[in-house]
Structure 1
Amino acid sequence: MTQDSRRQTVARPAGRLALAALTALGLQAGTAQAEEVLKAVSAFPVPMFWTQDFLNFVEEVNETGEGVVQIQMMGGPEVFPPTQQVDAVERGIVDIQYGPATYHLGSAPEIDALVGSNVTPEAARESGGFDLMQEILQERLGVRLMALGQSGLQFHIWSVDAPSVGEDGSVDMNGARLRSQPIYQAFFESLGAVPVSAPVPEVYTGLERGTFDGIGWPVAGVTDMSWDKYLKYRIDPGFFNTDLVIVMNPDSYAGLSDEARAIIDAAALNYELGSRDRLATVTAETDAAVQEGGIEVITLEGDAAQAYLDGAYGSAWARLQASGSAHYDALRAAFYQD
């Protein structure tokens, strides 16, 4: 699949929403003002599906905001290391960032509510969960939450060697070294695996050298850096939900004209909807490709599958509860339906 096809528009109503927002504000097209330019960065390398999809947001703003507001895409991890990008946004070095919110669990444990969520972004907005998370991230990280990307995203364990499946149908990852990030750690350890930290650009080398025996990753994007050359097995079902967000420097946002803010807000809302559809398409296409390429899917069933999922989702909510956050009950009610 080409990068252009990955960024195909899926019924994007950005123009209509943005124009409706502008009309509601009573702004006139002829108002004279300087075009405002914002700088953006992604946690992922630009060729990967995730950054390519984020560019849909950038392009919508640039198309709808011509003459009013533009986004200059600076690049990916080569600009700032992924774990330092939100700090760069807080400090105003860049204005907008896209990437995993869970890189910052240490500073904002409430982010686990996104990981353990089983509701859509629309439901989270209607329940007040989005607004609450927006307040939390501004207080904890100094950034403004703009959008929840790729809802419906699920993660999988991918491995080089066949995982052991017990007589009860449960998977045993005892001793397996799995490339990890904070959201996976407790769950991987509960399976007996050894989490290994490594940035995305180093995953291929880690697999090549045997630094780790597998990875935690969604279906989408697993082929972008040729990781499937070494990965031979995938465990289903998928678990967790998206932790991918677009955040913005609050002062940059407040400093925009009313017209520019309306354009940015509309594009962010459109991104929540469109990114879900694009993700579903790419996930289906990539799933078919990797299975055709020889990756074997090990599907857990019945009680074993339920225990596996309970262990995954439960690890996120247990971690949030253990943090002592005063927002635990409100977040649980807004982001998780029993």
Structure 2
Amino acid sequence: MVTAVTLGFGSGGTVVSTAQAAEVEGPKVKWLLSTWGKRRGIMEGMESFSEQIAEATDGNFEVSLQYGGVLSDPKENLDGLKIGAFEAAMFCPLYHPSKTPAITGLDLPFLPITDLETRAKVHEAYLHNPVVLEELARWNAYPLMSALMPNYEVMGKGEAPQSIEDWEGLRLSAGGGIGDLMKSIGAIPTAVPAPEMYQSLERGVINGAAFPYTYAFAAYKLHELADWRTEKSSLGSLTCVLVASKQAYEALPPQYQELIDRVKPGAYKHQIDTYTAIDEKNEKLFEEEGLKKVRFSEEDVEQIMDKAVQPSWDAWVAARNAEGLDGQALLDEILALAKEANTN
């Protein structure tokens, strides 16, 4: 069953903010949100969320983003919520799939989610699926919003692959489902830490890397070495979720809970706009470097679907069934939500 959640997307596919400028009266509340790294694209939605909340309440409700892993190791953020160490956190199911197996369906390759607006709609609805809510509740967690990540693409050095056969033997830094996907077409996936990516590509240790497009490639300057990059390949994306302590959320006065729902569309819009501006700048860089664009043909896509995608989907369904979940129902909902989002 498709879970209906209104996000406030306009007819043109852009997220429309519904947050009001009027002050929301209420008590003093401060949440600490545990995350890692520095401020970056993936956190822009939550930065906007925090700013809107503070502005609407005149600073009475504060969501303080704690970067650098100062509150918890990234892999232990759900554990921290469970014991009440902080009030909110970001986590990525890929880091510990067994903790939130239902959410890992959003990481499957070749889902029909081609842009960030569609991803926001699908994630926002699926995160409120009763199965997902129950899964999160076991960790004392309640979904605030998705930390949107763009689709992954591959950027590489050397001769650009023109067909499925040309991927044979290419050494690519690609993990998770994307790594499995690339392996199915003959590539050799390997795990290279992001800070070592440039040197590995320069020395020929790898032929290419799968990264969120475009910002991650530019951030690590891989475009300076690369000769080609894939385009609109729908490899998939990494899901990361911003959650609140269920106990802390339920303790909020009703007007603050309502405010959270009101500011989310504007937060998603800010994040998407940030990515769009970054992409425009980076695309110019890639053009200036003369990077060739590589697209999978329809025949290639059919082969990939048969050889890798459908088997990976089937394996995911079987794994969830073995855990006592209805894997097919969960996958069907994701696909139905994507279809609905793509037609609206």
- How far did 1:102 drift? 2.7
Alignment partner of 2:31 out of 19, 38, 60: 38
* Structure-2 change in CA distance of 1:234 and 1:83 (3 Å): farther
Distance in 2 between residues matched to 1:12 and 1:208, nearest whole Å: 43
Corresponding residue SS for 1:73: strand
User: Is 1:13 matched with 2:12?
Assistant: no
Native 8 Å contact 2:157 2:226 kept in 1: yes
Alignment partner of 2:290 out of 294, 297, 300: 294
* Structure-2 change in CA distance of 1:68 and 1:262 (3 Å): farther
Corresponding residue SS for 1:215: strand
- How far did 1:269 drift? 4.3
User: Is 1:327 matched with 2:326?
Assistant: yes
Corresponding residue SS for 2:232: strand
Native 8 Å contact 1:219 1:286 kept in 2: no
Distance in 2 between residues matched to 1:212 and 1:264, nearest whole Å: 44
TM-score, structure 1 as length reference = 0.75
Distance in 2 between residues matched to 1:136 and 1:162, nearest whole Å: 48
Aligned residue in 1 for 2:143:
145
Aligned residue in 2 for 1:156:
153
Corresponding residue SS for 1:92: coil
Corresponding residue SS for 2:286: helix
Native 8 Å contact 1:185 1:195 kept in 2: yes
Aligned residue in 2 for 1:226:
221
- How far did 1:199 drift? 4.5
Aligned residue in 2 for 1:4:
none
Alignment partner of 2:256 out of 260, 271, 276: 260
Alignment partner of 1:178 out of 151, 160, 172: 172
- How far did 1:281 drift? 4.4
Matches for 1:1-338 after TM superposition, within 5 Å: 13=17, 15-16=19-20, 29=25, 33=27, 35-43=28-36, 45-76=37-68, 80-98=72-90, 100-116=92-108, 117-118=111-112, 120=118, 121-122=120-121, 130-132=128-130, 134-139=132-137, 141-150=139-148, 153-165=150-162, 169-204=163-198, 206-207=200-201, 210-221=204-215, 222-239=217-234, 240-241=236-237, 243-308=239-304, 313-314=309-310, 316-325=312-321, 326-337=325-336
Native 8 Å contact 2:41 2:271 kept in 1: no
Corresponding residue SS for 1:13: coil
Distance in 2 between residues matched to 1:311 and 1:288, nearest whole Å: 35
TM-score, structure 2 as length reference = 0.74
Aligned residue in 2 for 1:6:
none
Corresponding residue SS for 2:85: coil
Distance in 2 between residues matched to 1:140 and 1:309, nearest whole Å: 35
Give the paired residue count.
Answer: 312
* Structure-2 change in CA distance of 1:85 and 1:188 (3 Å): farther
- How far did 1:304 drift? 1.4
* Structure-2 change in CA distance of 1:309 and 1:283 (3 Å): farther
- How far did 1:156 drift? 0.9
- How far did 1:187 drift? 0.9
- How far did 1:70 drift? 0.6
Distance in 1 between residues matched to 2:70 and 2:282, nearest whole Å: 26
Corresponding residue SS for 1:187: helix
Distance in 2 between residues matched to 1:178 and 1:299, nearest whole Å: 17
* Structure-2 change in CA distance of 1:267 and 1:216 (3 Å): same
Instruction: Give the residue type in structure 2 aligned to 1:225.
Output: Y
Native 8 Å contact 1:12 1:270 kept in 2: yes
Corresponding residue SS for 2:99: coil
Native 8 Å contact 2:153 2:233 kept in 1: yes
Structure 1 residue ranges without an equivalent (≥5) = 1-9, 23-28
Native 8 Å contact 1:42 1:51 kept in 2: no
Distance in 2 between residues matched to 1:282 and 1:309, nearest whole Å: 31
Structure 2 residue ranges without an equivalent (≥5) = 1-13, 340-344
Native 8 Å contact 2:93 2:103 kept in 1: yes
